[in-house]
């Protein structure tokens, strides 16, 4: 099976813009989680989607949002970008909410100028 894929791999935006990141989970996996990784804050959970519904949410402002489609693919959107949003955004998938192992994609490196 193909692994978790994320597009694009690299992105440069300016403050105030918005951005959409995409994640395709492993075939058959119905849960997708998003994480933000920064040198200062480490790995932080953003949210998890299952069956097109957000099931869990981390402590991020409302500028961070996501959605999941019927084919389990997920998108994450950040509006009104700030310099501090520069990070590696990782997507992870698992078969379902009762499955403990998550498989991570390579990430999208977002730079906000």
Partner 1 sequence: AQSVTQLDSQVPVFEEAPVELRCNYSSSVSVYLFWYVQYPNQGLQLLLKYLSGSTLVKGINGFEAEFNKSQTSFHLRKPSVHISDTAEYFCASLPGAAGNKLTFGGGTRVLVKP
Stretch that binds partner 1, among 11-19, 45-53, 64-72, 79-87 (CB under 8 A): 45-53
3-state secondary structure of 73: coil
Q: Is 5 exposed, middle or buried (0-12, 13-18, 19+ CB in 10 A)?
A: middle
Residues 3-32 that bind partner 1 (CB under 8 A): 4
Interaction of residue 62 with partner 1, rule CB under 8 A: no
- Is residue 97 a contact point for partner 1 (CB under 8 A)? yes
Tokens of 5: 């894929």
- Contacts to partner 1 from residues 75-94, by CB under 8 A: 90, 92
Q: Judged by CB under 8 A, does residue 33 bind partner 1? A: yes
Q: Does 38 bind partner 1 (CB under 8 A)?
A: no
**Beta-strand pair 31-38/87-94:** antiparallel
**Selected binder of partner 1 within 14, 27, 56, 77 (CB under 8 A):** 56
Contact between 105 and partner 1 by CB under 8 A: the answer reads yes
Structure tokens at 6: 């994320």
d(CA 39, CA 35): 13
- The answer to whether 91 and 74 are in contact (CB under 8 A) is yes
Q: Which residues form the interface with partner 1 (CB under 8 A)?
A: 4, 33, 35, 42-45, 48, 50, 55-56, 58, 90, 92, 97-98, 100-107
């Amino acid at each position: 099976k193909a692994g978790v894929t994320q597009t694009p791999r690299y992105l440069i935006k300016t403050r105030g813009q918005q951005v959409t990141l995409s994640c395709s989970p492993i075939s058959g996996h119905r849960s997708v989680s998003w994480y933000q990784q920064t040198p200062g804050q480490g790995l932080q959970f953003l949210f998890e989607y299952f069956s097109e519904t957000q099931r869990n949410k981390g402590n991020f402002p409302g500028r961070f949002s996501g959605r999941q489609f019927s084919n389990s693919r997920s998108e994450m959107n950040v509006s009104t970008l700030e310099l501090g949003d520069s990070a590696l955004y990782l997507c992870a998938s698992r078969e379902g909410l009762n499955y403990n192992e998550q498989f991570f994609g390579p990430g999208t490196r977002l730079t906000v100028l």
